[in-house]
């Protein structure tokens, strides 16, 4: 097989995602203009509303003025969106070799399809003009797993619009093949989850993401090789992923020959649009970008020229920790009677998040069990000493009950564990709390043999066209990593406290209270989702050793630690 250097990257972004989740819950909403409200703005709106001039992130008042019959649904509780997002991602992940798939936010998925494409290139012969069906193989081992396609019938759009009928260079052919894969995955998502999405196909994460936004909704765009620079040149500088808001504004200023004071940047209206093409005609060296980009000149220079060396990371199926916190004004929380309802509320939210993020499709099985509950607090102090203190306890087994109402679990957890942790942290008689953070930490595999494919069996019609029995060894990789965590000793010390920037911590609106801060766990940049995920192991193991208590199969090395986990279901142990 001829080796090619360029990665083949697919990017998917769901159409009007929150609105689409709400529509699936209530299909009557599909045909009416629908907006999803968060505070006083629309987080998003469906395409019926967009056709009537309603815009994403518009003020509710303006949107209602624009569209009198706009139906508004509150979307402040993200649980339903998280659940759908997780289920679709886990589903898509099953198609992808080596699990080379990564989430960005709740509605975007990157796939590195290089190996799948090159394997298929080695199996197939491109015949220009042929209308004969070919077969894309989703499995190396099972030649019947895959889908038929016709080379010349390119699904979706190209940028620029293709003049000729077929691909010519090897890279063209690989990208055409990838377009067929993208189309297949979009169809699968639509069939199984009733969500449409838009997709981009290119050789970098940056260009794949941007290509996907050219044709929306329910469409896909292949960025033809050789047109990357021209394509990027037409984008407004602020639209380039990886160029932050402040950097974009400083670059605009530079190009337009004006200055905005640092403290005014956030409030500056972006009235003039400056394209990447204009920027690189004015700013001609990376060094010139350095002072405008906080020292990221090299990196941003490359992005503006279409160079993005970041790779799709094989993300594990669950985050390494989930945490929720709230901050309080002086004098608000000064005794246990005031604190207990707050602990209850935060713990309930944490449990809801654990259910959304850690229970597999079908809602019957945990993908991971956080081994510890961590409480972190910070006091108001006169000397403005903002140090956080934290203390962890074993997460009791009843937390993982799927039948007990969450409210009941939260109440018991607070009474039996959290209040004890607080008393361990607070030895003073007089105190005023400034911050409370509750976290589920130290994730352990949900049962050694978590098989997401089984969980999907209720969702997915078994069809001849797709039977993914692919890559058993690779499939286990993510699980190995999680299982190995069983070997780590029980936590003896409070966990190191996560650094939280003061400005994030204080809350943007300065209300001081009631502004819940949820730590980001999916990453908000193109390549930073590893921050809270940890790496992926590469060893395989065999499922030969059933646990004598629950019968789950484990690698030998994880069995002892797994039995310790069962002990934790019956005893509550406060550590520290
Ligand atoms: N979202 C949000 N606040 C933002 C941006 C987005 O709450 N500032 C939420 C609402 C969206 C979801 O994230 O439904 C995905 O964001 P997108 O930008 O992808 O927007 P949509 O999916 O809603 O619309 P599109 O069809 O344009 O992708
Ligand atoms: Mg979207
Ligand atoms: Mg998006």
**pTM of the predicted protein model:** 0.79
Peptide bond into 194 cis (omega under 30): no
Q: Are 375 and 495 in contact (CB under 8 A)?
A: no
Say if residue 11's pLDDT is above 70.
Answer: yes
Which of helix, strand or coil describes residue 299? helix
Residue 564: partners with Cβ closer than 8 Å, 6 or more residues away: 486, 490
Give the separation between CA 344 and CA 414, rounded to whole angstroms. 6
The verdict on the CB of residue 17 being under 6 Å from ligand 1 is: yes
Which of helix, strand or coil describes residue 510? coil
Each residue's pLDDT tens digit, 31-66: 999 999 999 999 999 999 999 999 999 999 999 999
Average pLDDT over residues 325-352: 96
Q: How far lies 149's CA from each of 25, 141, 300, 357, in Å?
A: 33, 20, 39, 35
For residue 123, count other CB atoms closer than 10 A to its CB.
15
Q: Are 419 and 336 in contact (CB under 8 A)?
A: yes
Average pLDDT over residues 183-201: 98
The verdict on the CB of residue 391 being under 6 Å from ligand 1 is: no
Span from the CA of 48 to the centroid of ligand 3 (angstroms):
18
Say if residue 69's pLDDT is above 70.
Answer: yes
* pLDDT band per the 50, 70, 90 thresholds, residue 185: very high
The verdict on the CB of residue 104 being under 6 Å from ligand 1 is: no
The verdict on the CB of residue 50 being under 6 Å from ligand 1 is: no
pLDDT for 123 equals: 92
For residue 57, count other CB atoms closer than 10 A to its CB.
11
Give the separation between CA 197 and CA 219, rounded to whole angstroms. 7
Average pLDDT over residues 384-409: 92
Each residue's pLDDT tens digit, 439-491: 999 998 754 455 666 676 544 433 333 333 332 222 222 222 222 222 222 22
Span from the CA of 6 to the centroid of ligand 3 (angstroms):
25
Say if residue 282's pLDDT is above 80.
Answer: yes
Span from the CA of 20 to the centroid of ligand 2 (angstroms):
10
Encode 316-329: b = buried (16+ Cβ within 10 Å), e = exposed: bbbbbbbbbbbbbe
For 321-521+544-568, CATH gives 3.30.1490.100
Q: Strand 220-223 and strand 197-202: pairing?
A: parallel
Instruction: Give the CA radius of gyration of the chain.
Output: 26
The verdict on the CB of residue 18 being under 6 Å from ligand 1 is: yes
Each residue's pLDDT tens digit, 94-146: 999 999 999 999 999 999 999 999 999 999 887 777 788 999 999 999 999 99
Output the CA torsion 297→299→301→304 (10° steps).
-140
Average pLDDT over residues 20-39: 98
Give the separation between CA 45 and CA 17, rounded to whole angstroms. 9
> Concatenated DSSP letters for 220-261?
EEEE-TT-HHHHHHTSBGGGSTT--HHHHHHHHHHHHT----
DSSP 263: G
Span from the CA of 12 to the centroid of ligand 3 (angstroms):
8
Peptide bond into 160 cis (omega under 30): yes
The verdict on the CB of residue 54 being under 6 Å from ligand 1 is: no
So where are the chain's domains?
237-304, 321-521+544-568
């Amino acid at each position: 097989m001829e080796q090619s250097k360029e990665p083949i990257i697919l990017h998917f972004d769901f159409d009007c995602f929150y609105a689409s989740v709400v529509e699936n819950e209530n299909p009557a909403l599909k045909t009416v203009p629908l907006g999803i409200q968060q505070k006083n703005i629309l987080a998003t709106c469906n395409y019926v509303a967009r056709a009537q001039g309603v815009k994403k992130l518009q003020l509710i008042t303006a949107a209602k003025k624009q569209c009198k019959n706009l139906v508004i649904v509150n979307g402040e509780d993200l649980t339903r969106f998280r659940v759908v997002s997780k289920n679709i991602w886990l589903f898509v992940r099953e198609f992808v070799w080596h699990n080379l798939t990564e989430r960005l936010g709740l509605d975007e998925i990157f796939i590195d399809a290089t190996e799948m494409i090159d394997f298929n290139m080695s199996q197939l012969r491109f015949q220009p003009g042929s209308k004969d069906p070919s077969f894309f193989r989703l499995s190396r081992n099972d030649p019947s797993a895959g889908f038929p396609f016709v080379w010349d019938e390119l699904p979706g759009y190209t940028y620029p619009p293709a003049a000729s009928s077929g691909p010519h260079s090897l890279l063209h052919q690989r990208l055409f093949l990838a377009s067929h894969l993208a189309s297949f995955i979009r169809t699968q998502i639509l069939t199984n989850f009733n969500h449409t999405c838009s997709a981009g196909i290119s050789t970098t994460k940056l260009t794949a993401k941007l290509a996907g936004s050219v044709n929306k909704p329910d469409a896909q765009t292949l960025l033809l090789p050789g047109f990357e620079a021209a394509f990027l040149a037409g984008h407004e500088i602020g639209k380039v992923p990886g160029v932050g808001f402040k950097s974009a504004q400083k670059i605009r200023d530079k190009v337009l020959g004006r200055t905005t004071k640092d403290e005014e940047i956030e409030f500056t209206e972006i009235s003039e649009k400056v394209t990447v093409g204009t920027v690189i005609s004015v700013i001609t060296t990376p060094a010139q970008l350095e002072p405008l980009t906080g020292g990221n000149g090299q990196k941003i220079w490359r992005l503006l020229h279409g160079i993005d060396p970041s790779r799709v990371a094989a993300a594990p199926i669950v985050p390494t920790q989930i945490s929720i916190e709230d901050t309080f004004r002086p004098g608000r929380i000064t005794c246990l009677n005031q604190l207990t309802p707050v602990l209850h509320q935060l713990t309930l939210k944490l449990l809801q998040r654990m259910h959304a993020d850690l229970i597999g499709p079908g809602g019957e099985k945990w993908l991971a069990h956080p081994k510890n509950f961590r409480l972190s607090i910070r006091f108001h102090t006169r000397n403005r000493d903002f140090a956080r203190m934290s203390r962890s306890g074993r997460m009791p087994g009843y937390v993982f009950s799927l039948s007990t109402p969450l409210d009941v679990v939260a109440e018991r957890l607070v009474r039996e564990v959290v209040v004890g942790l607080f008393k361990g942290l607070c030895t003073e008689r007089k105190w005023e709390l400034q911050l409370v953070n509750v976290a589920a930490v130290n994730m352990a595999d949900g049962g050694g043999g978590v098989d997401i494919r089984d969980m999907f069996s209720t969702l997915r019609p078994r069809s001849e066209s797709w039977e993914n029995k692919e890559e058993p060894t690779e499939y286990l990789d993510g699980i190995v990593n999680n299982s190995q965590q069983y070997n780590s000793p029980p936590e003896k010390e409070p966990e190191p406290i996560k650094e939280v920037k003061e400005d994030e911590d204080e809350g943007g609106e300065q209300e001081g209270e009631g502004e819940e801060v949820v730590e980001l766990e999916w990453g908000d940049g193109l390549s930073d989702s590893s921050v809270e995920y940890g790496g992926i192991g590469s060893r395989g193991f065999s499922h030969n050793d059933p646990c004598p208590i629950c019968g789950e199969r484990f690698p030998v090395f994880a069995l002892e630690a797994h039995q310790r986990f069962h002990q934790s279901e019956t005893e509550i142990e406060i550590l520290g």
